[in-house]
């Protein structure tokens, strides 16, 4: 602890004791000693001197060393404020915001309710609008209305309200000082409150200081004594509706996202300052700015222009600067040479901005082919999956929506296993598997999106199924037995497949654009059987091993008109780019599954207990496989019985029944 801090705390403790003693005397009716304060060291002095300072003011002075007179509202208020006129007087002018600035200025010079609130998505430039208005006032811009030319915009840091308020009454005094300073006409104050929704508590949770400030602002706002600019997002701004007496004092002004051409001009304006920041260790061709905007839109879908493009450009230059100073690169370049920014660096930066795990491994067709070769009996499906993934990896048509596949087939034909192998080979993660039978009721939608504000669990920190997408948007999401989900739950994924994102109950947007959504289903068995085609449910049909050849029209008809009304809505099926029926597991395929399962289980046993594994044969004989097929093959169950059958046989061999 510094000497200064120790002295401040010591002074605060002494004054606090004096306040306590004064309070006790006052309760006894004696009041302060009229003779006190006249002797040496009494602390008496002229008005305005430290000796005449109020007890609370003395404490404030001890905790706010920058305040020369703690009883002066201006001194106390300015400790909580940032002068935007001074800070942004020399800033670059903002572009494409003249209309919003004019509407804000019109609200501020209104006779009634001279306050405005800027609403728009995060990153569109709401704060930049206020900065530009302050710059224009500071530089005497002729577009500023005469009534605003002598005004000063101050940003209020909400956290400063509670900073240093360790004693009762200190926070109240700071709020009173702030209001008094802002109301004084000669000060010409316009308050700017970013994240103004924090002034309105939600669900009983919120800062008492912020709530008290809101209550203190209401009368002054109603009388027009204060001019305030607030800023918040559309979603968070809904909190203001819970306090109509506060929100109706503001004129609501929307701030929209810039288009690509406007963002391009913004990037060109800021590029020289960015290059100067990085000491010209890097260089940027103007054509690269177009790639910055395109890749920001493609990869940073939850952000908005111009902030998404500006952030991507800044991060790309930072990444390139670090690379420029690596010993191996620096040795190849002459001093003063700049490393040029490339599209590859921009793309790599965009992909990594979701987290270190978001960088894809890259498409390795040989590895994926080897992984899918373990799936027996579904070669056509595996080949088509590899083709679609290869084309997606090439980026012929960059996508802004997830890949959507629907696998139709009986249990045990390999639908989920294909998804798991794709996740391991391409994404490097385990798939997110949702058992949709658990989402059969309408209320279960809260398990995916969370509870709306005001409902039980709305403030819970429990992990949600889509949370892994925040760290790594490249996920395989398996909707197992999708037909069993309630229609309202199914429509959530219709939105994800159509828009590429889903809005949670909390207002957060989850990005699905880089995901692969695979829905599995065994719906439609009756209609397909009646039509003489097999969808992997029975081997009695002549087409039992050719279900994958069914046309999309046949599959759509079968999946929308199922027995018992469990079919899918045609609109939902239309969002899946690929719908395929899996072939039934025939006796021959089932035999190959049995043989492969034995080899795998024996290998596991050999690693854990080589002595027992030595008692087993290296592989099964044809006679043994035929016997297993006769005893365990059930077409409707696919390959699922194979694991149990082989495990039971191995246990019988190693531990025979007496």
- Angle at which helices 55-63 and 170-183 pack, to 10 degrees? 90
| Residue 391 or residue 162, greater confidence | 391
pLDDT of residue 371: 82
* Residue 404 pLDDT class (50, 70, 90 cuts): very high
Does residue 516 carry a pLDDT above 50? yes
pLDDT of residue 390: 87
Closest C-alpha among 471, 361, 479 to residue 427 = 361
Query: What are the structure tokens assigned to 427, written together?
Result: 């994404």
pLDDT of residue 326: 82
d(CA 355, CA 353): 5
* Residue 225 pLDDT class (50, 70, 90 cuts): confident
pLDDT tens by residue, 449-464: 887 655 555 555 566 7
Fold of the CATH domain 73-254: Rossmann fold (3.40.50)
* Residue 264 pLDDT class (50, 70, 90 cuts): very high
On the question of a common fold for 260-353 and 365-454+462-531+546-581, the answer reads no
Average pLDDT over residues 223-250: 80
pLDDT of residue 128: 92
* Residue 579 pLDDT class (50, 70, 90 cuts): confident
d(CA 45, CA 590): 101
d(CA 120, CA 255): 5
Terminal Cα-to-Cα distance of the chain (whole angstroms): 79
Alpha carbons within 13 angstroms on the beta-carbon side of residue 550 total 30
Average pLDDT over residues 301-314: 87
Using the structure block, give the residue that is written with the tokens 């494409």.
96
Does residue 282 carry a pLDDT above 60? yes
| C-alpha 232: how far from chain center | 17
Using the structure block, give the residue that is written with the tokens 């669990």.
457
Does residue 94 carry a pLDDT above 70? yes
Question: For the domain bounded by 365-454+462-531+546-581, which CATH number is listed?
Answer: 3.40.50.300
Average pLDDT over residues 362-389: 83
* Residue 201 pLDDT class (50, 70, 90 cuts): low
* Residue 72 pLDDT class (50, 70, 90 cuts): low
pLDDT of residue 32: 44
Alpha carbons within 13 angstroms on the beta-carbon side of residue 127 total 14
pLDDT tens by residue, 610-631: 888 888 888 888 889 898 888 8
Residues 6+ apart with CB under 8 A from 402: 477, 496, 497, 500, 512, 513, 514, 515, 516, 517
Distances in Å between the Cα of 215 and the Cα atoms of 179, 200, 208 are 11, 10, 10
Lowest mean pLDDT among 149-158, 250-259, 324-333: 324-333
Q: Where in the chain are the domains?
A: 73-254, 260-353, 365-454+462-531+546-581, 587-654
Percent of the chain with pLDDT over 90: 12
User: What predicted TM-score, i.e. pTM, was given to this entire model?
Assistant: 0.60
Does residue 110 carry a pLDDT above 70? yes
pLDDT of residue 221: 75
pLDDT of residue 51: 47
Q: Which CATH class is domain 260-353?
A: mainly alpha
483 within 8 A of 566, measured Cβ to Cβ: yes
């Amino acid at each position: 602890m510094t000497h200064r801090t120790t002295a401040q705390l010591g002074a605060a403790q002494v004054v606090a004791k004096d306040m306590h003693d004064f309070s006790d005397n006052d309760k006894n009716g004696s009041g302060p000693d009229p003779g006190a304060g006249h002797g040496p060291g009494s602390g008496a002095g002229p008005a305005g001197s430290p000796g005449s300072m109020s007890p609370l003011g003395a404490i404030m002075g001890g905790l706010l060393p920058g305040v020369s007179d703690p009883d002066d509202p201006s001194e106390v208020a300015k400790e909580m404020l940032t002068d935007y006129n001074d800070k942004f007087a020399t800033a670059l002018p903002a572009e494409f915001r003249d209309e919003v600035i004019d509407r804000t200025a019109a609200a501020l010079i209104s006779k009634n309710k001279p306050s405005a609130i800027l609403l728009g998505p995060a990153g569109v430039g709401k704060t930049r609008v206020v900065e530009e208005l302050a710059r224009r006032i500071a530089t005497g811009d002729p577009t500023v209305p005469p009534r605003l030319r002598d005004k000063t915009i101050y940003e209020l840091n909400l956290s400063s309200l509670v900073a240093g308020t360790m004693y009762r009454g200190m926070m109240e005094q700071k709020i009173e000082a702030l209001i008094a300073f802002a109301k004084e006409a000669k000060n010409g104050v316009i308050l700017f409150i970013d994240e103004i929704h924090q002034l309105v508590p939600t669900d009983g949770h919120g800062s008492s200081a912020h709530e008290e400030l809101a209550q203190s602002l209401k009368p002054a706002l109603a009388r027009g004594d204060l001019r305030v600019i607030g800023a918040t997002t559309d979603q968070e701004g809904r909190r203001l509706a819970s306090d109509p007496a506060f929100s109706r004092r503001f004129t609501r002004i929307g701030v929209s996202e810039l288009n690509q051409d406007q963002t391009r001009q913004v990037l060109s304006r800021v590029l020289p300052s960015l290059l100067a920041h990085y000491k010209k260790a890097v260089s940027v061709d103007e054509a690269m700015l177009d790639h910055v905007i395109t890749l920001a839109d493609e990869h940073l879908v939850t952000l908005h222009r111009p902030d998404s493009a500006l952030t991507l450009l800044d991060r790309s230059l930072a990444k390139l600067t670090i690379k420029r100073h690596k010993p191996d690169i620096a040795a190849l370049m002459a001093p003063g040479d700049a490393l040029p920014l490339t599209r590859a660096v921009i793309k790599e930066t965009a992909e990594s901005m979701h987290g270190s795990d978001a960088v894809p491994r890259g498409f390795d067709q040989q590895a994926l082919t080897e992984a899918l070769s373990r799936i027996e009996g579904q070669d056509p499906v595996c080949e088509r999956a590899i083709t679609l993934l290869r084309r997606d990896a090439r980026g012929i048509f960059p996508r802004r929506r997830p890949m959507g596949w629907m696998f139709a087939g009986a249990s045990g034909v390999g639908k989920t296993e294909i998804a798991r192998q794709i996740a391991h080979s391409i994404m490097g993660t385990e798939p997110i598997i949702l058992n949709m039978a658990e989402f059969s009721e309408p209320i279960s939608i809260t398990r995916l999106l969370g509870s709306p504000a005001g409902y039980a669990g709305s403030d819970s920190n429990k992990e949600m199924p889509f949370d892994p997408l925040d760290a790594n948007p490249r996920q395989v999401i398996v909707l197992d037995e999708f037909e069993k989900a309630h229609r309202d739950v199914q429509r959530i994924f219709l939105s994800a497949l159509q828009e590429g994102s889903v809005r949670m109950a909390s207002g957060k947007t989850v990005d699905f654009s880089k995901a692969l959504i695979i829905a599995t289903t065994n719906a439609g068995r009756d209609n397909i059987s009646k039509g003489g085609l097999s969808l992997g449910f029975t081997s009695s049909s002549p087409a039992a091993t050719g279900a994958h050849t069914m046309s999309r029209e046949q599959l759509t008809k079968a999946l929308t008109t199922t027995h018992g009304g469990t079919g899918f809505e045609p609109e939902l099926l239309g969002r899946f780019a690929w719908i395929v029926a899996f072939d039934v597991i025939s006796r021959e395929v089932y035999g190959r599954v049995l043989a492969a399962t034995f080899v795998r289980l024996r290998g596991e046993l050999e690693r854990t207990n080589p002595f027992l594994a030595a008692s087993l044969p290296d592989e099964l004989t044809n006679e043994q496989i035929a016997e297993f097929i006769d005893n365990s093959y059930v077409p409707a169950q696919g390959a699922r019985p194979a694991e149990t059958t082989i495990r039971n046989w191995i246990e019988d061999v190693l531990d025979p029944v007496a």
